[in-house]
Structure 1
Amino acid sequence: MPLSKQRAGAPQVSPSVEAFLNDPEHVGVLTTVRPDGTLHTAPVRFTWDGTAGLVRVMTVASSRKARNLLADPGGRVAICQVQGFAWVTLEGPGTVVREPGRVAEGVKRYAKRYWSAPPNPPGRVVIEIEVDRVLTLNT
């Protein structure tokens, strides 16, 4: 199955939002929920696959963001990218993926967006967010 196959329920975004989400100068802020219910927020580099409605974040399984999702697979996640007075927030269920082909796809997309490969520490995983809500302002 192609990794960027159209997903049922994937949101459609405007060309200006698509361009904003693929600008290599921008990073996002990822918010996950800790097991005690409090929020964890961290700046991250990410990729947006508009065809599949999928966000990918490269990280390691021992990171707080990954541990939060491992404790609550499919838990709600939000990622927000801001530039001046323009922003886009993408929300949906998040999953920590260890499957080598999907991790490799995350690496490939990261390298394309940011012009260099991500770090390759032991325990590397990809967080996949199946976006089901998009909020925007001035994009």
Structure 2
Amino acid sequence: MRPDGRLHVVPVGVTVDAAASTARVITRKSSKKVANVLAADQARVAVCQVDGGRWATLEGTAEVLTDSAAVEDAVSRYARRYGRTPAPDPERVVIEISIERAMGQAALPHQQRARPAA
């Protein structure tokens, strides 16, 4: 949320650690996303990704992590997920989301493949 209460919606790459109920977004410390998280008492956020008929939305609370170990871990996760390592950036930070709710759709019914008869 922006300080005035409006939503701040932008595309992001997100990685998910389901076992830890955590999602991570790498970004620059000067980004509006970071400013909004830091300005909130308890930063409520949502991330959403769509792939054809599949989609997922994760909601939770966010905090900004700046320590090098957290940033390196998040960059490594991003590289595994998206198949490319982002260029080094001394301004990089991590928005870590504690997932409280997950919603999604595996595929629309007409997109599911029929299973062969046994």
Could you tell me the TM-score, scaled by structure 1's length? 0.72
* Shift in alpha-carbon separation, 1:128–1:77, aligned structure 2, 3 A: same
Matches within 5 A, 1:83-122: 83-122=51-90
Counterpart amino acid of residue 71 in structure 1: A
Can you give the 5+ residue segments of structure 2 that lack an aligned partner in the other structure?
108-118
The CA distance in 1 between the partners of 2:66 and 2:13, in whole Å, is 18
Deviations 1:26-79 (A, max 9, x none): xxxxxxx11111111111111111111111100011101111001115311000
Matches within 5 A, 1:30-69: 33-69=1-37
- Point out the structure with max Rg over C-alpha: 2
Q: Percent identity?
A: 46
User: Residue 73 of structure 1 contacts residue 96 of structure 1 at CA under 8 Å; is this kept in 2?
Assistant: no
User: Residue 73 of structure 1 contacts residue 94 of structure 1 at CA under 8 Å; is this kept in 2?
Assistant: no
Could you tell me the TM-score, scaled by structure 2's length? 0.84
* Off by >4 Å, runs of 4+ in structure 1: none
Query: Is 2:74 the counterpart of 1:128?
Result: no
Can you give the 5+ residue segments of structure 1 that lack an aligned partner in the other structure?
1-32
